[in-house]
Amino acid sequence: MTSNYRYLLSKFKPTRLSLNLQPLIITRRSIETASTNVQQPVIKGLFEYARLNNKSYIKIKGPESVKFINGLVSSKLQESFIKKNLTTIDANKNTETTSATNEQIVPVPKFDIMKGNWGLYHESGDYGPYLARFGQYTAFLDGKGKLITDSILYPTPLTLDNINDTKYPEYLIELDKGAMASTMMRTFEGHKILSKVKIKAVEENEVKTWDVLVRFENIPTSEENPWIDNILRPMASMKSPEDALAFANTVVGTLFEGFETNIKGLYIERRTDEVLKVDGSAPLMFRILTDNSIDDISTIFNSKAFPFDFTVSKQEESAFRKLRLRCGLLDGVTDVKPTTVLPLELNFDYFPDVVSSNKGCYIGQELTARTFATGILRKRIVPVKIHNLPALLSYINRPGHNSDKYLEVEMKSNGNDETFSSEETESQMVTSPFGSGKVVRKRKRPIGSLITFEEDVGIVMLRTEHFSRIFPQGNSHSTKPILFIDVGEENPENNVIIEVQEPFWLKNWFKSNSPKLV
């Protein structure tokens, strides 16, 4: 079975990336097409990186480590035993074939998940479920189904000679330093009971964390992004622990030749998959864990694996945070307060394998499963651009400001929308047996909240009932309303204006929901 997918390994060679950009030919100089003699752009590589200082890790290992972690996270980490058509990923989904290869979706063959360091199970790839040794973005929920924290789960060590080099599976769980790491350590210890696992906090000087971005510049948007055919597609088609290990060894050996053992974990950002599908030059982001001996990850990056020149740029942590927020992505409790939001409100259902709809019991499963079943979700986050940032900073830094609450986002007419104005307030006559009645004015409910921001880029949680106004679909006569944060200025013109950006999943959302939303 796995032989059907082994050929994909040859697309990512240990010494040179085979960037499949036909008919565009990548060289170190400008080229001309045979048919038109039109000069093609010079392809350049960009390697950006930043050291993260706010992450800590907990190691979990043992024969029951997969079962233990699977009961705590929203991702599905082991195959269920639901009797269903083998060509389906989800029991509730119809039989389907992948459009990329027209091959039938097939399951991962059964193997003993309690033995050997085999990696991670992923339930949805181009060819159905697959195995990988790269990290998985996931979520820990409380009993009410609200997010305690997001996390990345890494199989470790990343590279091995053989999956049986370690007797049992081993994983690193990434958490923000401080209170959250301590909270989750207590949670793990409390749920351990008789599970055959060992839990240990990783010393701060054992692991360094890096954000890395690799971009191929000047590739036309119409071309397929080379990361798809070189990493994303083959990664999501490995059906055995041996193939997954071979592919991981190849990737790490290509990108960090000679330093493979220094790489302790690697997360390939899958939440931007849909962006890469429509933009040939969109970057691929990585979260990379190294041992303490690596002082600068750019010095071990093997740029010679690529057939063009690279520019290396060191960035601040905030640059990567801003990039994530621009894509509508969150990272840790710095971005979202614990137990305040639901995972689906953060669009986790639009990201690969972050929330499973059929994995069975885990903490927070009941409300999440009910939301999947009913399809009723009243709020979702979207990326935004913030105007009048100084006023916002001044407001949140005022004495007495309650930082535990999210800032409210309101909406008002843009002058041409006659059907809505949030400036209006509802009035209600309240009668009293002891005197005359009086009019009580109710404050109109805000349409959303500012969850987090970095400079002029942020994330806002919006009520979905307003999506049809905020994101007019196919109606050129519709005028978008103005979204704002009231910062208490006498002149309303000094309020903070929120410019909503269209998220990648919006069209799919409109297809799945009634057009009459308000």
Q: Read off the pLDDT of residues 415-430 as tens digits, 9 standing for 90 and up.
A: 644 334 344 444 455 5
Model confidence at 13: pLDDT above 60: no
Q: What φ, ψ does residue 233 adopt, rounded to 5°?
A: -70, -50
What confidence score (pLDDT) does residue 312 get?
97
Q: Which residue has the tokens 């307003």?
A: 466
According to DSSP, the β-strands at 263-268 and 207-217 are unpaired
Q: How confident is the model at residue 431 (pLDDT cuts 50, 70, 90)?
A: low
Q: How confident is the model at residue 96 (pLDDT cuts 50, 70, 90)?
A: very low
Kindly list the distances between the CA atom of residue 491 and the CA atoms of 423, 444, 487, 496, in Å, as whole numbers in the listed order. 14, 20, 10, 11
Cα 270 versus chain centre, distance = 6
Cα 490 versus chain centre, distance = 40
Please give the average per-residue pLDDT across 479-484, as a whole number.
90
Please give the average per-residue pLDDT across 449-474, as a whole number.
94
What confidence score (pLDDT) does residue 491 get?
72
Residue from 88, 313, 63, 322 nearest 197 by CA = 63
Model confidence at 11: pLDDT above 50: no
Q: Read off the pLDDT of residues 314-324 as tens digits, 9 standing for 90 and up.
A: 999 999 999 99
Please give the average per-residue pLDDT across 258-269, as a whole number.
98
What confidence score (pLDDT) does residue 129 get?
94
According to DSSP, the β-strands at 263-268 and 120-125 are unpaired
What confidence score (pLDDT) does residue 419 get?
36
Model confidence at 18: pLDDT above 50: no
Full-model pTM: 0.85
- With vertex at residue 301, the alpha carbon angle to CA 23 and CA 296, rounded to the nearest 5 degrees, is 145
pLDDT > 70: percent of the chain: 80
Model confidence at 480: pLDDT above 90: no
Q: What φ, ψ does residue 20 adopt, rounded to 5°?
A: -90, 90
What confidence score (pLDDT) does residue 437 get?
55
| Tokens, residue 402 | 């309650």
Q: Read off the pLDDT of residues 376-394 as tens digits, 9 standing for 90 and up.
A: 899 999 999 999 999 999 9
Q: Which residue has the tokens 């001044």?
A: 394
Which residue has better confidence, 8 or 163?
163
What confidence score (pLDDT) does residue 435 get?
57
What confidence score (pLDDT) does residue 507 get?
92
Q: Which residues pair with 132 in a beta bridge?
A: 120
- The alpha carbon torsion through 506, 510, 511, 512 (nearest 10 deg) reads 100
Lowest mean pLDDT among 66-70, 143-147, 306-310, 333-337: 306-310
| Tokens, residue 35 | 């048919």
Q: Read off the pLDDT of residues 122-163 as tens digits, 9 standing for 90 and up.
A: 999 888 999 999 999 999 999 999 999 999 999 999 999 999
Tell me which fold the domain 55-206+325-374 belongs to: Alpha-Beta Plaits (3.30.70)
Residue ranges per domain, the chain?
Answer: 55-206+325-374, 379-512
Q: Read off the pLDDT of residues 340-364 as tens digits, 9 standing for 90 and up.
A: 999 999 999 999 999 998 888 899 9
Please give the average per-residue pLDDT across 454-473, as a whole number.
95
Q: Read off the pLDDT of residues 215-244 as tens digits, 9 standing for 90 and up.
A: 998 888 888 899 999 999 999 999 999 999
Residue from 422, 466, 425 nearest 443 by CA = 425
Model confidence at 40: pLDDT above 80: no
Please give the average per-residue pLDDT across 104-117, as a whole number.
91
Which residue has better confidence, 53 or 473?
53
Kindly report the average pLDDT of the chain as a whole number.
84
What confidence score (pLDDT) does residue 401 get?
85
> Is the Cα torsion angle 450, 454, 455, 459 positive or negative in sign?
negative
Model confidence at 189: pLDDT above 60: yes
Residue from 213, 280, 228, 242 nearest 5 by CA = 242
Model confidence at 93: pLDDT above 50: no
SS (H, E, C) 40-56: CCCCEEEEEEEEECCEE
Please give the average per-residue pLDDT across 51-67, as a whole number.
98
Compute the radius of gyration of the chain from its Cα atoms: 25
180: left (phi over 0), alpha (psi -120 to 50) or beta: alpha
What confidence score (pLDDT) does residue 462 get?
98
| Tokens, residue 250 | 């190849």
Q: How far apart are CA 335 and CA 442, in angstroms?
A: 31
